A and B are shown apart, each in its own frame.
Chain A
Amino acid sequence: MNNLVIGQFIPGKAWLYRVDPRTKILVTVVYVFLLIFANTWPAYALATLFLALTLVLTGQSLELYWRGIKPVMWLIIFTVCLQLFFTGGTPVLFHWQFLKITLPGLINALYVVLRFVLIVLMSTALTLTTPPTAIASAIESLLKPLKAIKVPVAELALMLSIALRFVPLLMLETDKVMKAQKSRGMSLSTGSLIKRSKAVLPLLIPLFIGALQRALDLANAMEVRGFESADNRTRYRVLSFSKQDLVAALGTGLFVLLFIGLLWIN
């Protein structure tokens, strides 16, 4: 589980670490949104250039990103096959029985691969350089306008940050329960599919009971330390925009303009 790069935070001191998490989230959202409209090679080239610049600014090795892509490889190959074999049009490049590869299909498949890889790497760059707590407080700050329509933003943010805090703990516990059940003869890797899914049950029940017990204990601990409602609290971590954010915003603005320009010409 520890070699999963997507969603992991790795402490560092590179430029992107000093950018406010809100800026990073917004840039990622804008980038992903624009990629949906990319349909020419120059547009993809520009998007790739922007990503390359971002990755350099994270100060992490390329090898790390390669490890980030690997787990989603099968998903990429699957989508590529769908695009490759099931897109109609002419000219036909290859034909065997019901399988048929066309030139538009080939181009589409390449676009999909690129889009996929660019989105995954961009999100990896975000989570790699932003601690989960910062992401939680950034989301809270970005969603603040929704308070006007009675969305409990503060509660949601607190739930998110507590959930994030318990992820490693629940992983450890899953591991422990799994070992305990294995030592009693359980096997998750043999038998029919039904038999295997039945074996998951004795794993889930202790996990659920444990999680509920934790939740009760945590509620007590929070209450004793004066927690009443998520709204009437001050914040230890205060987000603030700085010079880096201006640079990032200008850079992204330039990218957006060029990108829209390229789509326009087409």
Chain B
Amino acid sequence: MTNAITINNLTYGYPDQDPLFHDFDLEVQEGQWLSIVGHNGSGKSTLAKLILGLLEANSGTISIFGQQLTIETLAEARAQVGMVFQNPDNQFVGATVADDVAFGLENRQVPSEEMPKMIEAVLQQVGMADFADREPHTLSGGQKQRVALASVLALKPKVIILDEATAMLDPAGKSAVLQTLKDLKNQYQDQLTLIVITHDMAEAALADRVVVINDGQLAFDQRPQDLFVQGQALKELGLDQPFESQLSQALPKAPNQYLTKQELAAWLSTLKD
């Protein structure tokens, strides 16, 4: 399995501040669904900006599918990695949903006559096809984030980074975005690498692998089910366990492992007899 993203000895700090990352290493395999969690100010979003070349590392290397990120390879890297940002309004460039999806295609110089079909197809994928002519201020936050996802998908990236993309959404919008992510992952399987930056543990639980960043270091790098049973350690890092884990740990007889909501419900129902 090849590495989608390889980070070696990364050092970065904002000017006039203590360095955020020092000799930081991370590898993300192609096709993986990775969650990056950490408390506010832990450097999660900075890491995403570094991977996309929006910020330049002080030292160390970032490689995308084996290609080292430099000024020369920047355009190529951005063709392979797409990103959905936190604020739904601030990433909506077009005046309508279709125009917004078209923006990236226009940048890639896709011929005008090919665009409508491509736009229709990606809006279908995120369930927003009926909203093509709507203006952004008539959409809910969750709908805007799904449009943002469609705009990224239209460029056919191999890696999609979501930087707290659900943090500003209501529960319904959040679950719609997460469902869309699951559908996409099912559809593309190993062709799509997902990096989800979040501080919502239920969202992190969807991943194959969770890394916890604390003070610019990897504090944990595990499968979500192994991470969530470590309640005390998580608390020390300023993170919550998902509700299911809190519940099952409060029940003395529950098995000492991570159970999803469904699994926990199934286990609880066996207690009746």
Contacts and interface: CB of A to CB of B under 8 A. Distances in A.
Interface of A: 131-133, 161-162, 164-165, 168-169, 172, 213-214, 217-218, 220-228, 232-238
B83 A165 contact: no
Contact of B102 (A132, A168, A224, A236): A236
Size bin of chain B's contact surface: 35 or more
Contact of B89 (A214, A220, A227): A214
A218 B90 contact: yes
B90 A221 contact: yes
Contacts of B105: 234, 236
Task: State the main secondary structure of chain A at its contact with B.
Answer: helix
Contact of A221 (B93, B95, B99, B112): B93
B136 interface: yes
Interface in B136-151: 136-137, 151
Given A165-B92, A228-B75, A220 B107 contact: no
A235 B108 CA distance: 11
B94 interface: yes
Contacts, number: 92
A168 B135 CA distance: 10
B109 to A, nearest CB: 5
B155 A222 contact: no
B93 A218 contact: yes
A218 B91 contact: yes
A132 B95 contact: yes
B93 A222 contact: yes
Contact of A225 (B87, B96, B155): B155
Per CB-CB distance, the 7 closest pairs between chain A and chain B, nearest first, are A236-B102, A217-B90, A221-B91, A226-B107, A225-B104, A168-B137, A233-B106
Nearest to A166: B89
Given A165-B136, A172-B137, A233-B106, A226 B95 contact: no
Nearest to A235: B112
A228 B87 CA distance: 22
B49 A220 contact: yes
Given A220-B54, A225-B155, A234 B90 contact: no
